[in-house]
Each structure stands twice: as C-alpha cells, then as structure tokens.
Amino acid sequence: MKYNFTPNDKEWHQTLLNAFENLLKLQVKPVLVYDRKQFRKYLYRGGHNANSVSAECIKDCGIIWLSPFLSACPKVEAVNTLYHECLHIKYPDMHENKVRQLADKMIPITSVTNSKKKKFDIVHKK
C-alpha cells in the first residue's frame, strides 16, 4: 500500500508551518520536504530506519521531512509532528524528551498512539 499526502494536506501543512514559524519566532525558516533526497548523505548511521519514524529534521537549515505514513493517521499527529520539528529548530540543544513533552502539551495526542512509537524522529545537526 502506498501512502501519499494530497495537495490539500500539503496546503494545511504549509499553513501550519508558517503559523509555527511566527509563533516560535524562528530564526531559521523551516522548509518542508516530501522526498528524501536532502537526507541521502545520512543513509544511515545509528541504525534508524527512516520508515519507522514520523519525521526527520536538519536543525541548522530548517529542513523537515514528514513521513507519508502520517497521511493515514489522525491529522493531529501531523500537526504535533510539525510543531515538534519546529521546536528542534528553535531549540537545537533541547533534549528529545523535553521537545516531545512541549509538543504534546501544545498539541495533545493520545497516549495510545504515543506509546507505540519507539523513536519519534531523526534529527541532524547539519
């Protein structure tokens, strides 16, 4: 089965991203990408398979990739994920657990969905 975001999905992703950028006063403009070319050079240290995470982010340049699997999930998960990645860009040194906590506080997702995710995302410095 192939997962894909619709043009409609991409429109609200972008709208939210603009809002989060303003809300968090990000110095680095977040850029949403859907294909993984930008991440090719990272394939893949640490043994994390990108297919098992919700998103990936390069903090320094603000590039965010969203997993197409999210297109089959409740929309709140994509919203939470976008906000989560923006927090990584805003606070590059913040610990993953703290980022997750802040994002989940702002955009609550159910504990059920949360617990089955072993690793939320992959984050690169540069």
Which positions touch Zn ion (CB under 5 A)?
A: 96, 121
In the three-class reduction of DSSP (H, G, I as helix; E, B as strand; rest coil), residue 100 is classed as: helix
Which residue number is nearest to Zn ion in terms of Cβ? 121
Give residues with Cβ within 8 angstroms of 73, minimum separation 6: 113
Ramachandran assignment for 110, one of left (phi > 0), alpha (psi -120 to 50 degrees), beta (any other): beta
C-beta closer to Zn ion: residue 11 or 96:
96
C-beta closer to Zn ion: residue 77 or 121:
121
Closest approach, Cβ 114 to Zn ion, in A, equals: 13
Closest approach, Cβ 81 to Zn ion, in A, equals: 9
C-beta closer to Zn ion: residue 11 or 113:
113
Find the DSSP H helices in 1-126.
7-23, 75-90, 96-106, 111-115
C-beta closer to Zn ion: residue 21 or 121:
121
Closest approach, Cβ 120 to Zn ion, in A, equals: 5
Closest approach, Cβ 103 to Zn ion, in A, equals: 8
In angstroms, the Cα distances linking 48 to 65, 70, 94 are 15, 18, 20
